[in-house]
Structures are given as C-alpha cells and as structure tokens.
Amino acid sequence: MQSHTRPSVGPLKGRLTVPGDKSLSHRAILFAALSEGVSHLTGVLDSADVRSTIRAVSSLGAQVDAASAPDGSLNVTVTGWGATGPQSPTTAIDCGNSGTTSRLLLGALAGYPGLTVTLTGDESLSRRPMRRVTEPLERMGAQFVDREGCLPVTVVGASLSGIRYESPVASAQVKTAVLLAGLRASGPTSVIESAPSRDHTERLLPAFGVEVTREMSTHTASVSGPANMVATDVVVPADPSSAAFLVVAALLVPDSEVVLPGVGLNPTRTGFLRVLARMGADIEVELNEDPAEEVRGTITARYSPDLTATTVSAEEVPSLVDEVPILAVAAARAGGTTRFEGVGELRVKESDRLAAVVDGLSAMGVAAHATHDVLEIVGPARLAPAQVDSLGDHRLAMAWTVAALAMTGAADREMTIDRFEAVDVSYPDFLEHLGRLGAR
C-alpha cells in the first residue's frame, strides 16, 4: 500500500487520545496468561503485534476474550494457565512481526519440562537476532533449536537454575525474558544492565504477585524462583512512542497545538521529551495524580519554529530508541548538527532503521549520514517531496508522514510512502487521528 501525503494546509489542533502502550499491552496479556485466575485488562492496544501475542497465549492454553471498546482499544479478559502450565500447541506459533512476542515467549516458556513449542515470524522478524535472548537462557539450562540464531526457534522445556547475568545490551526484551525464566528457575535471577532500559516488567510483576528487587545504582533487577503469578486487573496507558509522532507533527506544522491526555510517562520511555525540550520545543507535561504502577499524564505540544540541534548521548538511547526516526525528522528542521550516539541497536530493528533514516532524509534533501552506531543530521533543511519506503517498519512509515506534513512550499508537493500498511503494527488509526487534528 502506498500513502500519498501533502504538506498540511492548516495547523494541527485538538485533543486526542493515542492508542494503548504496545510494550505494556504485550506484557499484561502474557503475564495474565502465566497467572492463576482471571485478569481483566483495559486500554489494550488493538494492533497486529498485540494480536500476535493474543493468538500465541491462546494456542498455549490461556482463555482469552478480547472485545473492542468505544475508543478503539481492547478490553481483554484472560484466564491463565497458572500452576497447570501451558500446553504444547499442535502447530508452530506465528509471532508475525513482533519481536516482543517472540523474545518474551522464549523466556516465559523455557522452564516447563515436557513442553515443546516452535516460534516463527514473518520475513522481517526472521532476520532479527534471537541469540541475545537464548544465550543467557541456555546458561540457566534452557534448550533451544534455532536457525543460526534467528527464527524459527523451537523451545524444549527444561529445569532451570537462577543466574546473575550482565547484559551486553540495555534491552527490556532481554531483561524481561531472563526474569520470566527466573520465575520458573530455582534460586535468584538477576539482570544487570549498563544503562536503564524500559522497566515496565519490574513495575508490573508485583501487581501479579511477584516480588522484584531493584538496585537503581547498578541497573539491576532480580527475582527469586520458583514463583507463582496471580491474576490481577491492569489499565494500560496511552503509548508515549505513538504520542511522539503527533508531538513532533505539532512542533513542525505552523500554528499547531495538540493535547494528548492519558499518556504513559514512565521515565524510561520519555527520553524523547527531554531531548525535544533541549532543542527548544514548546511542550508542557502535566502528571496525573494516579497511584497506578505506571505514571501517566497529559502532553501539550505547540508549533516551535526555532528548534536547535543537540547531542543525544548513548546513555539516553535506551529511553528513546523507538523515537529516533521521528526525532531525526525534528532534527532536520533544527538549526545545526544533531548527533545521536550509540544507536547501533537501530540496525537490528524491524529494518536497519539507521540506514533507512539516512536514505529517507537524503531523498528529501537533508544532509544526513551514519557510521556503525552514530547518526548525524544537519539542519535546518527544507524537506523536499520524495518517494520513500517504510521497509515494512511502522516507525518509519509514521516518521515519513510527519515529514511530509512539514514540507514547505506549494500544497501540491507530495510524499509517496511505500508499504505504509506497516503502521498497523502499532497505530492502525494513525492517518485517521491526523485527520481529526486537522491534517489535510
């Protein structure tokens, strides 16, 4: 599917709730499936990736009832397998394009002796590395059969022992997989990271009855197994990664003001807001007085014509890794050279995002280049119409749409985006929501 987008002929204005947080939606469904009893989940993202997790846990024996809510989210009721354990499915589990589904399942299923499960995925997911997850799990006693470290991977359930693992990458998926395996292992399991990654798992596990010990100074999270999970109810906040695209659109389209309520404001997810603030963006954040596990609040973003360049350090990247493509679009309109350091992880996402960002921006007339793990963008640039390719990557599809809205010049200038249907992975209503805000 091709998308044809022209510069916005007017400002983006209004109040809009973006879809539920994808990371939390995955975890809430999987944790509920692992638990004893019935969990009620509201605000769950209805997207291709989350549907992959729902199908996966259903094929493993959880009872899942997902109903559409008026706001487009899902109300999901999950009866978990609890102490009974998952069943071996009759066919392979297709994880689609969802790295979170596949990697978290590797950890969640590794500690069930007698269980045999094969995980597959689409062409893109089948190129993404799985050894970063299976290697520490094998140290715990897990057994896998894989294709050169990629999907398909067959999980052969085994008895596990706890581990103290120093992760070479700050990855919430790796951390979560190891901690979930630790719940089935004997003794303590700890994951130590070089920088703090998303901590949704550490915040959510206690709601399911699992004690998590954290040492903030060393970026360490620990559980002690074996541990049983119990059902609970979870309200999923709006996704800050999805909100980022509308925030940047408001900053770049003249006279815009966009208000986004109920957004998850977990500090490990809001690095993009801190970077935009350094660049001079007109953004207000109001926290809700909410005792929930996840902080949430309202983001207001206004047109900011005088953005300036900044340097994003490697230590900041885990808190904004999914927002680098849209931050790169903002950087193209900022004065000076914006430098992203330590972004090599983007080369093993749904696409090689680092190369794709350079290729896409270069096609639009922006000076951009990258090394193995550094991205530099020189602005301010006049974004020119071009034909670009999402490469099947939802973040790129949305970033190029925002770039098109911010193009300067005649209203008939047009950006053509190939494989735009990739937005279904995380934000199926993206174009509709832009239309509600006044994009034409």
> Do the strands 116-120 and 93-94 form a parallel or antiparallel pair, or are they unpaired?
parallel
Question: From start to end of 115-169, where are the E strands?
Answer: 116-120, 143-147, 150-156, 160-161, 164-166
Q: 9 with 434: CB under 8 angstroms?
A: no
Supply angle C-alpha 282, 287, 290, rounded to 5.
165
Q: 365 with 287: CB under 8 angstroms?
A: no
Per the residue annotation, which of 322, 389, 393, 424 is the catalytic one? 322
- 322 as an active site residue: the answer is yes
**Six token digits for residue 306:** 């005088």
Report the C-alpha gap between 42 and 261 in whole angstroms: 16
Burial class (CB in 10 A: 0-12, 13-18, 19+), 276: buried
Q: 69 with 46: CB under 8 angstroms?
A: no
Burial class (CB in 10 A: 0-12, 13-18, 19+), 83: exposed
In the block, which residue shows the tokens 């010049």? 409
| Catalytic center residues | 322
